[in-house]
Amino acid sequence: MTTTLREATVALSDGAHRPWARTAALLRLYLRLDRVRIAVWALAVYGTVAGSIATLLETYPTQESLQARAALLSNPSAVMMTGPAFGREHYTFGAMVANELSLWVLVAAAIMSVLLVVRHTRAEEEAGRLEVVRALPVGRFAPPTAAFATVAVANVVVGAAVTAGLLSGGADLAVADSAAFGVGTALTGLVFAAVAAVAAQLTEHGRAASGAALAVVGATFLTRGIGDVIDPLGSPLSWTSPFAWAQQTRLYVDLRWWPLVLSAVAAAALGALAVGLAQRRDLGAGLRAPRPGPAGAAPALLGPVGLAWRLLRGLFWGWAAGTTLFAVAFGAMANSLEDFAEELPDLGDLFQIDLTDLTNAFASVVLAFLVVGVACFVVAAVLRLRAEEGQGRVAAVVVTGTSRPRLLAGWLAVVAGGAVVMTVLVGLGAGVGVWSGSGDPAWVGRMAVAALAYLPAVALFGAVAVALAGLAPGAAPWAWLPVGWSAFVLFLGGLLDLPEWTREVSPFEHTPLVPQEALAAGPLVVMGLTAAALVAAGFVGFTRRDLER
Amino acid sequence: MTDLAIEARDLVKTFGTTRALDGFTLSVEHGQVAGFLGPNGAGKSTTIRVLLGMLRADSGTARVLGLDPWADAVAIHRRIAYVAGDTNLWPNLTGGEVIDLLTRIHGGARERARAARRAELIERFELDPTKKVRTYSKGNRQKVALVCALASDAELYLLDEPTAGLDPLMEAVFTDEVRRLRDAGRTVLLSSHILAEVEKLCDTVTIIRAGRAVESGTLAQLRHLTRSTVTAAVPAGPGRLAALPGVHDLVADDGRVRFDVDDAHVAEVLRALADAGVANVTITPPSLEELFLRHYGDDVVAAAAGRDDAADAGARGAGRRARRGAGR
């Protein structure tokens, strides 16, 4: 009896006096919770790296083909979607691998880190689990430290997977540069982990925290891209982005390690900021005090549409703001293009772009890229209804006398309306961008109308989500697969030389490249009807199946 | 048109290999407050969700207000109010917004009466409607759910563990409100495992175990099936009491006796006590707790010695699985 008491006292006082007490135990817990997750990320990254190298080896067997690939880097959109163009004069296979893969590997590490950090910090706190943990003899700093350590472990594993993938691809790549690639990936992940840790202190909701941190990922993606378009070897704007720090190591060209010091310092500084902010607030609270809200509901909130809009508006504004900003930035790059056409007459053979009207062609391609953002919004918004169902809130509304079809129709009306508005905004944004470059205001209207051609494709992505949510609710997250694959095909399908049929799966492949191409109504009608059929199936399923809660 | 507000017969609902409801039968008359008892995972919430048309029973029939809960769900929903077992409301809406959202969609009540009722309930439950749901404590969140249901002008109230997390004062307010519903002729199905609450409020009780109704009837009927406890001061000693039919577990100690008696034999026992020169006597009817423990206590203790060991063990296994499944 006395021993137990003494042990308990010791454990408690340990917690009181040692702010990091029991960090190791928590780290073990978090790693146990995440072991599958981390393994999946690492395997996916390894598979992508090793598989891409195999594909690239096949696609670019000779020095001429490599030089042709190097010429491609004169295209701003290629630089935007890959990385800085080092060693173009004597292009090597390694330089191409670094250019082709680094950005996507880094983005993957960044997204993984953001999701993991928020999962173990704000989301845990919001769910009330952190309170349970903190009530144990656990130091004040132990949970965030363990969370950060978990993410560090994940990044080390992913970094190692990158290096392993590079070395096992059969391309005989330099070991030091491959190691630097892995280290750069891990450090970039940690920078964004620290960004997410700060965001988790500022907001009260896990979703808002990951949204804010992912917005930083998007913004720095953009600054790196635009900076490198300004100067393909990296302009001052590029250096504002953590992505640039990892890419500026000049992998396989002229390896230098020092840019990674920036990553390490930034991660440490942001981590310290997060700890400082955490000290200044109560458990469960954000930095802003909650304000009282309305004592009653506005009439607009009371129907299924009003409720859906209230629940989706944050998601909508986030995506709308992000895609529109991207649109303006992309559009503004169009003006630098006309010069390239004269410099590189053979570019047209490699890239399916009509050089006589480069601005038009570029604007068309950009539009397709941007619509991916709208598709993401649509799928996320449809799946949010599944989350509502899982929380029992769909049931709460249904028992008030709103039929299931009405509820779903209201929800989808908001999603559809949001998608249309966002598509137009994206078109307007791109148009404004092109206008700013070319000086021709007609672009604004032209792009806004052209963007509407993508609505059937967007509807199709959403319809897949609706059908899954209705007929196979457990499998609903698979609705992301078509979006992810189509984006992959769009960004890299041409460069990776994917087989025709794998590309044909993407609805974007069936959407005419407006405004460059003429509008062909046939495929759009087919996609629209397919979407309608899938939505109808989703309605039938949603009406007939058990509500989960 | 049937006279019953709720009529469920032989309901079966499985989740994968789990039988959450296993031939469950329940009937509730109009204007009754019906208690629905059972431990966690016995199938109470599954039953209520089937009655609401959220879940479709694999077999068996159910009628709610004379309608089919699956086919006529919306028509039923317009006439009922529901408090979910574990209330999860929108964290970024205020309590007042949620109440309006979940009562005005209802559309049934006339607007002014509804507003007055809403204000009265918010006052009685001491709720601050301007706070975001996320900032409420568990009890306050439960109060929001209760106000939503009670402010609805419904014919039938399905309340799934409605007082979870409430303090005793608020529980008293709730009890009072349910009595008002009964006085107004409304029907209430009150699922709970708080026996005192059910004993106070309910006209009839159904006890569910492992997805099956094991007992149902009025409290008086249920008590009749069991034994009352008799405590008496008999200075002359128990005499022939122990030998009487219907007397069980007699303990005599220093001029006091205590025993259980089958209700059918109370008269003879009283006569025998009078003959023995009884000084005082107390007869306690069985509490609901005793009834309840009779059905669940033996799950642990007596079932091993049950009549049909193999079948019983099977049923208990199914029950355990059902409990786990229904908890999802």
Domain chopping of chain A, boundaries = 12-286, 300-549
Please give the DSSP secondary-structure letter assigned to residue B286: P
Which of A399, A544, A549 to probe the B interface (max B CBs under 10 A)? Answer: A399
> How high is the pLDDT of residue B108?
54
Q: Do B54 and A396 touch (CB under 8 A)?
A: no
Per cent of chain B over pLDDT 70 is 86
Query: What value does the mean pLDDT of chain A take?
Result: 87
In chain B, which residues have their Cβ closer than 8 Å to the Cβ of A402? 74, 77, 105
Structure-token pair, residue A341: 């056409």
Strand order in the sheet with B59-64: B18-29, B4-15, B59-64
Confidence class for position B59, pLDDT limits 50, 70, 90 = very high
When mean pLDDT is compared across A87-101, A377-391, A396-410, A497-511, the lowest value belongs to A497-511
CATH topology of domain B4-218: Rossmann fold (3.40.50)
> Tokens 């063990």 belong to which residue?
B313
> How high is the pLDDT of residue A290?
67
Query: What value does the mean pLDDT of chain B take?
Result: 83
With a cut of 50, say whether residue B302 has pLDDT above it: no
Q: Which residue has the higher pLDDT, B3 or A287?
A: B3
The dihedral formed by the CA atoms of B73, B75, B78 and B82, expressed in degrees to the nearest 10: -30
CATH of B227-284, one of 3.30.70, 3.10.20, 3.40.1130, 3.90.320: 3.30.70
A261 CB-side CA count, 13 A:
3
Report d(CA A178, CA B278) in Å as an integer.
98
Alpha-carbon distance values, A169 to A46, A178, A181, B129 (Å): 10, 11, 14, 62
Q: Tell me how far apart the 2 most distant CA atoms of chain B are, in Å.
A: 72
Q: Per-residue pLDDT tens for B8-41?
A: 999 999 998 889 999 999 999 999 999 998 888 8
Report d(CA A188, CA A110) in Å as an integer.
7
The minimum CA-CA distance between B45 and chain A, rounded to whole Å, is 10
Q: Do A398 and B77 touch (CB under 8 A)?
A: yes
Amino acid sitting at position B285:
P
Torsional sign, CA A28, A32, A33, A34: positive
Q: Which of A74-83, A175-184, B126-135, B289-298 has the highest mean pLDDT?
A: A175-184
Torsional sign, CA A506, A511, A513, A517: positive
Q: Which residue has the higher pLDDT, A529 or A439?
A: A529
Q: Per-residue pLDDT tens for A225-258?
A: 888 888 888 889 999 999 999 999 999 999 999 9
C-beta of residue A246 within 8 angstroms of C-beta of residue A259 = yes
| Chain B contact for A293 (CB, 8 A cutoff) | yes
Every domain of chain B with CATH number 3.40.50.300 lies at: 4-218
In chain B, which residues have their Cβ closer than 8 Å to the Cβ of A404? 73
> How high is the pLDDT of residue B1?
46
Q: Do B52 and A399 touch (CB under 8 A)?
A: yes
When mean pLDDT is compared across A2-6, A334-338, B202-206, B300-304, the lowest value belongs to B300-304
Strands (E) located in B169-279 = 187-192, 204-209, 212-218, 227-233, 247-253, 256-262
Omega cis (within 30) before A290: no
Report d(CA B48, CA B323) in Å as an integer.
15
Per cent of chain A over pLDDT 70 is 91
Mean pLDDT of the B62-87 span: 89
Among the listed residues A394, A396, A446, A456, the one whose alpha carbon sits nearest the alpha carbon of residue A420: A456
Q: Per-residue pLDDT tens for A430-468?
A: 999 888 877 888 989 999 999 999 999 999 999 999 999
Which of B21, B101, B189 to probe the A interface (max A CBs under 10 A)? Answer: B101
The minimum CA-CA distance between A298 and chain B, rounded to whole Å, is 8
What sections of A18-62 are H helices per DSSP? 23-59
Mean pLDDT of the A284-313 span: 83
Q: Per-residue pLDDT tens for A363-385?
A: 888 888 899 999 999 999 999 99
Q: Is the ipTM of this complex over 0.85?
A: no
With a cut of 90, say whether residue A7 has pLDDT above it: no
Mean pLDDT of the B106-134 span: 84
Q: Which of residues 45-104 of B touch A (CB under 8 A)?
A: 49, 52, 54-56, 73-74, 77-78, 80-82, 84, 86-94, 96-104
Per cent of chain A over pLDDT 90 is 50
Confidence class for position A356, pLDDT limits 50, 70, 90 = low
Among the listed residues B36, B29, B39, the one whose alpha carbon sits nearest the alpha carbon of residue B50: B36
| 3-class SS of residue B187 | strand
Report d(CA A113, CA A188) in Å as an integer.
9
Q: Do B74 and A403 touch (CB under 8 A)?
A: yes
Residues 6+ apart with CB under 8 A from A440: A434
Write the burial class of residue B171 (CB in 10 Å: 0-12 exposed, 13-18 middle, 19+ buried).
Answer: middle
> How many residues are given for chain A?
549
Confidence class for position B191, pLDDT limits 50, 70, 90 = very high
Report d(CA B232, CA B248) in Å as an integer.
14
| Chain B contact for A266 (CB, 8 A cutoff) | no
Write the burial class of residue A258 (CB in 10 Å: 0-12 exposed, 13-18 middle, 19+ buried).
Answer: exposed
> How high is the pLDDT of residue B2?
52
In chain B, which residues have their Cβ closer than 8 Å to the Cβ of A307? 101
Q: Per-residue pLDDT tens for A285-296?
A: 666 666 788 888
In chain A, which residues have their Cβ closer than 8 Å to the Cβ of B94? 292-295
Among the listed residues A376, A380, A365, the one whose alpha carbon sits nearest the alpha carbon of residue A490: A365
- DSSP per residue, A69-94: HHHHTTSHHHHHHS------TT--HH
C-beta of residue A400 within 8 angstroms of C-beta of residue B77 = yes
Every domain of chain B with CATH number 3.30.70 lies at: 227-284
Which of A400, A402, A540 to probe the B interface (max B CBs under 10 A)? Answer: A400
Q: Do B106 and A546 touch (CB under 8 A)?
A: no
> How high is the pLDDT of residue B106?
54
Confidence class for position A310, pLDDT limits 50, 70, 90 = very high
In degrees and rounded to multiples of 5, residue B214 shows phi and psi of: -100, -15
Residues 6+ apart with CB under 8 A from A278: A144, A201
With a cut of 70, say whether residue A348 has pLDDT above it: no
Report d(CA A538, CA A547) in Å as an integer.
14
Residues 6+ apart with CB under 8 A from A201: A274, A277, A278, A281, A286, A287
Confidence class for position B322, pLDDT limits 50, 70, 90 = very low
The minimum CA-CA distance between B94 and chain A, rounded to whole Å, is 6
B315 CB-side CA count, 13 A:
18
In degrees and rounded to multiples of 5, residue B9 shows phi and psi of: -130, 125
